[in-house]
Amino acid sequence: MRFSRMLIPTVRETPSEATAESHKLMQRAGYVRQLAAGLYIYLPLGWRVISRINRILRQEMDAIGAQEVSMPVLQPAEQWQQSGRWYDIKEEMFRLKDRGGRDMCLGMTHEEMMTWLASREIRSYRQLPQIWYQIQTKLRDEPRPKSGILRTREFLMKDSYSFDASVEGLRESYKLHEDAYHRIFTRCGLKFHQVESDTGMMGGAVAHEFMAPSPSGEDDIVLCAACGYQANVEVAGSVPSAARYGEDAPLEDVHTPEKRTVEEVSRFLKEPPERFIKSILLLAGEGPVLALLRGDQQLHEKKLQRLIGPFRAAGKPEVKDVLGVEAGFIGPMDHEDIHIKIIADPVLKTGSYITGANKPHYHKRGVRAQVHFQAAWHDIHVAAAGDGCPRCGAPLAIEKAIEIANIFQLGTKYSAALNAVFLNESGAEEPIIMGSYGIGPARIAAAAIEQNHDRDGIIWPEAIAPFDVEIVPLGAGDSPEVESAAWDLYRELDKNGIEAIIDDRDLRAGVKLKDADLIGIPKQIIVGQRNLNEGLVELKGRRTKECLRIRPGEALDALRAGKEID
């Protein structure tokens, strides 16, 4: 490919709206352009990257016996209504009506359509298992598109769906995907973790996410170096450091004028936050709930929601209405007379604490669980770095990561709702047991950049780079020798199946070299008169900037070996 003929609009200055490194670099290096919030155009280089990723996805999906299909993006409401998600999902779904007034939507995922297809075509256990997949556009009206290509309203997704006759079969399909995903991300050159995750709006029992560590990631993941426990903080358990404060402190009131938050009281009394009980009043469907955490812990809303259903924080007047005390001085004691559920994190079972005294401008010292208050005990805190691993107790680390894929054991949620059934060996009708498995190609690309770049630009992993090598002839306009040497090389590589781009632009050496680094093709072959006088060209590794002076005839072998400059 000739550089001069390709649309590669590199720019020197970073666009002001970009914050994520991958976003800045993709804009600067001419891979993408933004059309509107959450809508991106992939320019030729960007699309080549996505295409290479998709090729890997197809190879690995086909290798586990999955079959590619194509699904409509425009979908009737009916199947969504049958699964219930037409009503569960709100603003996030793009909805419209066709000319006949029928309700339609734009597909944000394809469980319903795939299940509908299965319901029509699958009759017998003999037809199972099946794995169907597609690589297609999804549309979601995201409340906040962000970080460039990482969270967009329209995006490509590889999603596959497994259909099995038994739970064991589902586990096998799930395992096939796990293994395929490991191969895919390894081939794409990513650092990643497979973590336990929330099932969210997909429903189902077991779910994992594949996470690529990056500061631009939106998720926090918990990692245990000792036993390998890995989970999204959305579901991660943890054992907080044990209470270190004696249980024999006497119960007494402490005057704390105008000091309401743990932080304020902590500073006022010169006691660390972990000496406090944080009392948070929440309003759930079943009534008010008092959640108790240690002062240094954060309430894990999802964990709590699994216990009490949807809830919201009580406002200041509501706190006064329910507990009869001003917010800021509430505590877990003496609520026997009113009907309120108290849920406490187990870390509070031992130790004595300072907490609100249930009267204005006073806190209580020496408060102990079981002695001074009763509660239902549940893990409702957010795992923090340094907490103990729930499996082995070793200290946990927390990392930011980009969610590049997720896999779900769905069970029969969709098959039951859409009546996708089969006849088993004894002739009885059963719902098909399903799994669904998504990968975001754009997120793979963005994560690869996040994990592989330097001051000068992108450093693509070989498998997903838009080209294998960039040939950079310097001063070709004045030197027919350089020009013909460069083109000879290009043709030689092309003949041998190596995809090269040749920078045939009539530009100064500096500009071409800067652009080559920015664009990030992993290997460069620099052809200049100086080296050519000795019959040599330079093979340069983008990551290391190491150069190897070689004869043009050796280029092919050197590229294939290539290790010493990587």
Partner RNA sequence: CGGGGCGUAGCGCAGUCCGGCUAGCGCACCUGCUUUGGGAGCAGGGGGUCGGAGGUUCGAAUCCUCUCGCCCCGACCA
Q: How far is the CB of 403 from RNA (least distance, A)?
A: 7
DSSP structural state of residue 381 = B
Could you say whether residue 517 binds RNA (CB under 7 A)? yes
By beta-carbon proximity to RNA, the closer residue of 150 and 277 is 150
Q: Looking up tokens 């298992």, which residue turns up?
A: 129
Candidates 50, 128, 513, 559: give the one binding RNA (CB under 7 A): 513
DSSP structural state of residue 204 = -
State the Cα angle at 81 between 75 and 86, rounded to 5°.
75
Q: How far is the CB of 450 from RNA (least distance, A)?
A: 14
By beta-carbon proximity to RNA, the closer residue of 20 and 464 is 20
Could you say whether residue 538 binds RNA (CB under 7 A)? yes
DSSP structural state of residue 151 = B
Q: Rounded to whole angstroms, how far apart are CA atoms 547 and 566?
A: 10
Q: How far is the CB of 147 from RNA (least distance, A)?
A: 5
By beta-carbon proximity to RNA, the closer residue of 133 and 329 is 133
User: Interface residues for RNA in 25-44 (CB under 7 A)?
Assistant: 28, 34, 36-38
Q: Rounded to whole angstroms, how far apart are CA atoms 296 and 516?
A: 49
Of 19, 38, 436, 34, the C-alpha closest to 217 is 19
By beta-carbon proximity to RNA, the closer residue of 125 and 133 is 133
Q: How far is the CB of 220 from RNA (least distance, A)?
A: 10
Number of shown-chain residues binding RNA (CB under 7 A): 67
Q: How far is the CB of 537 from RNA (least distance, A)?
A: 7
* Burial class, 82, CB count within 10 angstroms (exposed 0-12 / middle 13-18 / buried 19+): middle
Could you say whether residue 528 binds RNA (CB under 7 A)? yes
- Where helices occur in 277-380 by DSSP H, the ranges are 301-308, 316-323
Region binding RNA by CB under 7 A among candidate stretches 41-49, 125-133, 201-209, 274-282: 201-209
For residue 326 the two structure tokens come to 């001003």
Candidates 129, 237, 438, 520: give the one binding RNA (CB under 7 A): 438
User: Interface residues for RNA in 99-118 (CB under 7 A)?
Assistant: 108-109
For residue 487 the two structure tokens come to 């083109």
Q: Rounded to whole angstroms, how far apart are CA atoms 171 and 42?
A: 37
Q: Rounded to whole angstroms, how far apart are CA atoms 461 and 449?
A: 9
Could you say whether residue 11 binds RNA (CB under 7 A)? yes
Q: How far is the CB of 201 from RNA (least distance, A)?
A: 3
Could you say whether residue 17 binds RNA (CB under 7 A)? yes
Q: Rounded to whole angstroms, how far apart are CA atoms 345 and 380?
A: 6
* Burial class, 502, CB count within 10 angstroms (exposed 0-12 / middle 13-18 / buried 19+): buried
Candidates 2, 349, 530, 551: give the one binding RNA (CB under 7 A): 530
Longest dimension (CA), the chain: 95
Q: Where are the beta strands (DSSP E) in 266-396?
A: 277-284, 287-294, 311-313, 341-344, 352-356, 362-368, 376-377
By beta-carbon proximity to RNA, the closer residue of 7 and 36 is 36
Q: Are strands 352-356 and 230-232 parallel, antiparallel or unpaired?
A: unpaired
| Interaction mask 266-305, RNA, x per CB under 7 A | -----------------------------------x----
Could you say whether residue 8 binds RNA (CB under 7 A)? no
Helix 441-451 vs helix 44-63: angle between axes, to the nearest 10 degrees?
110
Asked if 312 and 282 count as a contact pair (C-beta separation under 8 A), the reply is yes
* 145 Cβ contact partners less than 8 Å away, ≥ 6 residues apart: 37, 38, 39, 151, 152, 153
User: Interface residues for RNA in 467-496 (CB under 7 A)?
Assistant: 474-475, 477-478
Could you say whether residue 199 binds RNA (CB under 7 A)? yes
Q: How far is the CB of 89 from RNA (least distance, A)?
A: 7
By beta-carbon proximity to RNA, the closer residue of 140 and 363 is 140
Region binding RNA by CB under 7 A among candidate stretches 60-68, 224-232, 514-522, 558-566: 514-522
For binding to RNA (CB under 7 A), which residues are involved?
A: 10-17, 19-20, 28, 34, 36-38, 92, 108-109, 138, 140, 142-147, 151, 157, 159, 198-202, 207, 218, 301, 406, 408, 438, 440, 456, 474-475, 477-478, 508-511, 513-518, 526-532, 538, 540, 545, 547
